[in-house]
Amino acid sequence: MSRLDPRKIPRHVAIIPDGNGRWAENRGLPRVAGYRNGAEIVREIVRGAHELGIQWLTFYAFSTENWKRPSEEIDAIMAYLEEYIVRDADELVRNGIRVDAIGRLSNLSPRIQAQLGDLIRRTESNDEMRLTFALSYGGRAEIVDAVRGIARAVEAGVLEPEAIDEKCVQANLYCKDMPDPDLLIRTGGEHRISNFLLWQLAYTEFFTSDALWPDFTKSKLVDAVCAFQQRERRFGRTSAQTQDDKP
C-alpha cells in the first residue's frame, strides 16, 4: 500500500476474472470448483478496491457467449452469483457500496433478477464505490442495443440524424453515467478483451496477470494499480503535450 501514490489511484477499474476452470483442472477438481473459489476472490477484491479508494469497479461476471458453456457450469456460476447477492448484501450496504448491473439482464432467471433488483434498490443511495456486474453482457450487444435506441428516437422524430454524436451514443449505453475505465485487469495470462466494454475501453490502460482468478489476491490488485501509476496516459497526444498539461 505504501508504494502507491494516493493521488493517482485509478477512478474506474474493470476486471476480466479469467481462469476459474483452469485453476480447478490444475488441481484435479471439477471445473465448477474454480468458480466457488473465484467467488471468494471477488469478495476480497471488492474489499481491497474499496480500501484503495477506487470509485468504480466493474466485473465481467458472465458474457453473452458464456450461455454456450455446459449447463452444469452455467448453473454453478449462477448459484455463486446468487450466493454473493444474498450473503454480501448487508456488508455492501454497510460499506457504502452501490451495486449495479449491465447487460441483457432479462436472460437471467426471474429469481436472480428479483434478488439483484432488490440489492440494487438497497444500495442505490450509497456513494463510496460503484460495483457493477456485467451479466449476460457483450460489448457488441451493448452497441447494438444503443443503436436500436437511437434508431427508435430518429423514427419517432425526436432526434435528428445529424445530432448523433459520441455523447448521443454514450447516453444510450447500458450505464449512461459510467466513466470509461482507467485500468483493465485480465487474469489467467490471456491478452484479449473478449467482447468487454468495447466502446468504453478506447483509452484504457491494460494489465494482464498470469495468475488464474482464484489466485488473484489483494496484493496482486495493488501490483496492478502500481503498474498503472507508472504509465503515461496520453489519450492520442504526445508526451510533450501531456507534460504541458501538468500543473
- Residue 97 burial by Cβ neighbours in a 10 Å radius (0-12, 13-18, 19+): buried
Per-residue pLDDT of the chain (247 residues; tens, 9 = 90+): 568 999 999 999 999 999 999 999 999 999 999 999 999 999 999 999 999 999 999 999 999 999 999 999 999 999 999 999 999 999 999 999 999 999 999 999 999 999 999 999 999 999 999 999 999 999 999 999 999 999 999 999 999 999 999 999 999 999 889 999 999 999 999 999 999 999 999 999 999 999 999 999 999 999 999 999 999 876 655 555 555 555 5
Residue 242 confidence (pLDDT): 56
pLDDT of residue 3: 81
Q: Which residues contact 117 (CB under 8 A, 6 or more apart)?
A: none
> What was the pLDDT predicted at 232?
84
pTM: predicted TM-score of the whole model, two decimal places: 0.92
The active-site residue out of 66, 95, 126, 195 is: 66
Determine whether 66 is an active site residue: yes
Decide: 59 and 42 in contact? Cβ < 8 Å: yes
Please indicate whether residue 18 is annotated as part of the active site.
Answer: yes
Assess if residue 219 is contained within a domain: yes
In a domain, residue 237? The reply is: no
Residue 158 lies in a domain: no
Q: Is residue 187 part of a domain?
A: yes
Whole-number Å distance between alpha carbons of 189 and 26: 15
Tell me the CATH number at 52.
Answer: 3.40.1180.10
Residue 185, domain extent: 8-138+181-229
Among residues 18, 88, 100, 182, which one is catalytic?
18
Pick the closest to residue 181 from 144, 243, 149, 134 (CA basis). 134
By C-alpha distance, which of 146, 149, 38, 49 is closest to 102?
146
Q: How many domains does the chain have?
A: 1
Residue 215 in domain? yes
Closest to 201 (Cα-Cα) out of 177, 183, 186: 183
Where do we find the cell 488441481? 27
**Does some domain include residue 152?**
no
pLDDT at 233: 78
- Is 119 among the domain residues? yes
Give residue 140's identity as a one-letter amino acid code.
R
Estimate to the nearest angstrom the gap between the alpha carbon of 238 and the chain centroid.
Answer: 29
Q: Strand 12-16 relative to strand 183-186: parallel, antiparallel, unpaired?
A: parallel
Q: Are strands 97-102 and 12-16 parallel, antiparallel or unpaired?
A: unpaired
* 175 occurs within a structural domain: no
Give residue 236's pLDDT: 59
Residue 8 has a pLDDT of 96
